[in-house]
């Protein structure tokens, strides 16, 4: 079991970590599987620092990268109120070569609870979702995209890119098999609530990530 997480940013109100792929952001309620929230709490307690933590957002189990926690419920709620205007940048390795090389996917999403998968398209239960993408480079039959989220729906990048015909590499739920998911939360930029301070937190993709690009 992993006992130490890389802390990217820390102050009295917010803590950001580099979540590795394969680790839940928070507990699932279905067992005692390790999760980032619990590991970080234990890690801080070993520093004689008793801190309460609330997830400001979540990233999927198989997605690596920036994950932000608040040290109070009030700060978490303040961050969530600003979430729509926060900078949320990902790297995604997809199958094929999107044409045009950059664009916007503006398609509503809704969760199909029977298969725990997001459906794309108009529906009374669907929520507004917008994803912007830019091609970084193409190697062979795969492409590295820089993705900016205007909204932050569950599985948004994965569902939108699969709908466009270019599923994320290794995304068994939405299209392709593989050893790991080609999705990394690269950068989070947010104006810290209660201050004039702009926080920009970034972490490069893990070793082996770009090897998926071939």
Residues taking part in catalysis = 60
Picking from 155, 156, 154, 176, the residue whose alpha carbon sits closest to that of residue 165 is 176
Q: 3-state class of 49 per DSSP?
A: coil
How many of the other CB atoms lie within 10 Å of CB of 24?
19
Q: 3-state class of 163 per DSSP?
A: helix
- The H-or-E segment that residue 132 falls in is strand 130-139
Cα four-point dihedral sign 157, 158, 161, 167: positive
DSSP-assigned letter for residue 141: T
């Amino acid at each position: 079991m992993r006992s130490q997480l890389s802390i990217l940013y820390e102050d009295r109100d917010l803590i950001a970590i580099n979540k590795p792929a394969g680790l839940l952001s928070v507990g699932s309620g279905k067992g005692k599987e390790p999760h980032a929230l619990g590991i970080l709490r234990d890690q801080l307690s070993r520093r004689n620092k008793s801190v309460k933590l609330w997830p400001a957002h979540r990233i999927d189990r198989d997605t690596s990268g920036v994950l932000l926690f608040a040290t109070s419920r009030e700060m978490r709620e303040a961050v969530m109120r600003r979430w729509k205007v926060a900078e949320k940048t990902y790297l995604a390795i997809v199958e094929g070569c999107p044409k045009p090389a950059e664009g916007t996917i503006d398609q509503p999403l809704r969760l199909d609870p029977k298969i725990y998968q997001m459906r794309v398209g108009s529906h009374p239960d669907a929520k507004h979702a917008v994803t912007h993408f830019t091609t970084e480079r193409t190697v062979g039959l795969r492409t590295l995209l820089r993705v900016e989220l205007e909204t932050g729906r569950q599985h948004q990048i994965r569902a939108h890119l699969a709908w466009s015909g270019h599923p994320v590499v290794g995304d068994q739920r939405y299209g392709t098999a593989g050893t790991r998911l080609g999705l990394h939360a690269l950068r989070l930029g947010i104006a810290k609530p209660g201050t004039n301070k702009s926080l920009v937190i970034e972490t490069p993709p893990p070793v082996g990530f770009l090897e998926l690009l071939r």
